[in-house]
Chain A
Amino acid sequence: MDFSVFLQPAFSGGGTYLDWVLSGIKWTLLVSILGWVIAFSVGSVLGVMRTAPLAPLRAVATAYVELFRNVPLLVQMFIWYFVLPEIVPEGLGTWMKTQMPMPEFWSAVLCLGFYTASRVAEQVRSGIQSIPRGQTEAALAMGLTLPQAYRHVLLPMGYRIVIPPLTSEFLTIFKNSSVALVIGVLELTAQARQISEYTFRTFEAFTVATVVYLLITLAVIVAMRALEHRVRVPGYIGTSGK
């Protein structure tokens, strides 16, 4: 094994192979974090809709969840990138393909975001539904409206309860971001493959990628633990580590 390969000048672009790795890390983080922003916001809304006492809302949210979590991520990636521009009005499609800045990047962000949203929605729903009915009834009896009951009672408790599974989803989005390489996002895995092709140092390239993914996910775990600890409510799950 010879890691000095990363200090050699890269084949093109002017930098070293280490610059390729750093650029890969940048895109991995950008795709994952922007994807998570979408996933968390959309997923929360959908999760609430799935518990709402209104059948049409529940139906819409259920349809979304089943559609997005049952189609393989790889297929969804192709649909966002290759199919969507062909089915929207032609002017918009042409804009998406030729003028839109970084089309592969934004396709990847939207794809990961909306896919993960379906999974977040299920976590949020299970969090809300795990709260005893009595709490909703008590909130309503005190004169809160239903939205207020969600805002002040159900969601604050629900989110705390599902911090551990949400942590898993958050970790998964970093790992799933590697799927973006199929539509040409040069994120960490794509860069590792590219380095191995140019230098034939497969082992070194993927060792570095593996270590970086581990560091990213460990950092996420530490941050989520800290969050869990900070917002804990005594007597509930989600208070692990006291």
Chain B
Amino acid sequence: MTRLPLVLASSFAFALSGCGDKPAPKPKTEAPAATTPATAQTSDTLKKVKETGVIRIGHRDVSVPFSYLDDKQQPVGYAMDICMKVVDAVKKETGRQDIKVEYVPVTSQTRIPVLVGGNIDIECGSTTNSVERQKQVAFGPTYFMTGTKLLVKTSSGIKGYDDLKGKTVVYTQGTTNERAMKAYNDEKKLGINFIPAKDHGESFLAVDTGRAVAFPMDDILLYGLRASAKNPADFAVVGEFLSDDPYGPMLRKGDAAFKKVVDDAVGALYKSGEIEKIYAKWFQSPVPPKGINLNVPMSDALKELVKNPNDTGVGACGKMKC
């Protein structure tokens, strides 16, 4: 259980940074990092990177095609490509071209403590920017828009959330989807039997082996999981969007200088139109490890974000507008 020391380390960081006190009042839109003096002293990422010559990037292992391990066990993906632009900007900003990138694998559960604890400097994955999380961390510009749907076996005949009455549902611990599904279950009194899993791979396995009938997750990740299944036709992604999930790079709170570098780097990528090439590479072309093409065109919501980059989080109700 190597996670425990990290969790403990970060808990001390919580205590030191004052995050352990009363939670900040709910930010209405984005949380401008510079206006949270309580945590301002905790980190100056640029200074740290300049001194150590190392930037530590948190990545996921099965968030296809955002951030995952390819057949050579190297972290790759859409979010990783965007973060490489951030690394270039950091090199320019610090004046050190020799900055090394260290990759640190994180899970849905560890990503926030590991970031707050200082073990990584930025997380590039499939993390939903939510108002709730903005109490702990900051986000760079949103780089993808998705939402909760259900992965089921085609043979199960499940078409939507109300078919889940009294059934077993698996969720990945620490995700916004877990909250959305549980809230829906409470509201509609579906009496769902929940089983927790530690990552998306394990949740998928639970559906594949029949332990659970459904897995609520961001639809784009479900398409990715489905594509990497032995027989993709066995699985279907069903249901309406239960929640909105805007993804963005996750940063430490109260580090305005670093956030600006991230915002500017991603903004430049959007402005130059280079984002379209990166998007096409991961969503409209075959991707490793199995050479599957997800074939998902850029959504209108994302096109709008590219035109007007922002870091607005999803509200407490699970929708962008509550």
On A, residues with C-beta under 8 Å from B are 1-2, 11-14, 82, 85-86, 94, 97-98, 103-104, 178-179, 182, 184, 186, 190, 193-194, 196-197, 200-204, 206
Contacts and interface: CB of A to CB of B under 8 A. Distances in A.
Contacts of B104: none
B98 interface: no
B227 interface: no
16 contacts: A1-B20, A11-B182, A14-B186, A85-B209, A97-B209, A193-B7, A194-B173, A194-B196, A196-B7, A196-B11, A196-B113, A202-B8, A202-B113, A203-B11, A203-B14, A204-B20
A179 to B, nearest CB: 8
B284 interface: no
A200 B19 contact: yes
Given A2-B21, A85-B209, A196-B7, A184 B183 contact: no
Interface in B180-233: 182-183, 185-186, 195-198, 205, 209-211
Interface of B: 1, 7-8, 10-12, 14-15, 19-23, 109, 112-113, 135-136, 168, 173-174, 179, 182-183, 185-186, 195-198, 205, 209-211
B61 to A, nearest CB: 16
Nearest to B210: A97
Nearest to B133: A200
Given A193-B109, A200-B19, A202-B14, A82 B205 contact: yes
A242 B173 CA distance: 50
A34 B86 CA distance: 53
A86 B209 contact: yes
B3 to A, nearest CB: 9
Contacts of A2: 20-22
A212 to B, nearest CB: 16
Given A2-B21, A11-B179, A202-B11, A98 B196 contact: no
Contacts of A97: 209-211
Report which residue of A94, A200, A206 has the largest number of chain B beta carbons within 10 angstroms of its beta carbon.
A200
Given A12-B179, A200-B135, 11 more contacts: A1-B20, A12-B186, A13-B186, A98-B211, A103-B211, A190-B196, A193-B7, A194-B173, A197-B173, A202-B113, A203-B14
Given A2-B20, A86-B209, A104-B195, A200 B136 contact: yes
Contacts of B10: 202
Nearest to B211: A97
A208 B30 CA distance: 34
B210 A1 contact: no
A211 B37 CA distance: 34
A82 B206 CA distance: 9
A102 B12 CA distance: 36
Contacts of A85: 209
Residue among A11, A85, A184 with max Cβ neighbours from chain B (10 Å) = A184
B156 to A, nearest CB: 11
A186 B194 CA distance: 11
Contacts of B168: 98
Q: Which of B1, B23, B196, B197 has the most CB of A within 10 A?
A: B196
A181 to B, nearest CB: 8
Contacts of B196: 184, 186, 190, 194
For A1, A13, A82, A203, which residue has the most chain B Cβ atoms within 10 angstroms? A203
Nearest to B19: A200
Given A86-B209, A97-B211, A190-B196, A197 B109 contact: yes
4 interchain residue pairs of minimum CB distance? A202-B11, A12-B182, A203-B11, A184-B195
A185 B173 CA distance: 12
A104 B174 CA distance: 19
A12 B15 contact: no
B11 A206 contact: yes
Contacts of B195: 104, 184
A134 to B, nearest CB: 47
A178 B3 CA distance: 13
A104 B14 CA distance: 33
Nearest to A104: B195
Contacts of A193: 7, 109, 173
A178 B20 CA distance: 26
Nearest to B170: A184
A98 B50 CA distance: 54
A184 B186 CA distance: 20
A11 B185 CA distance: 12
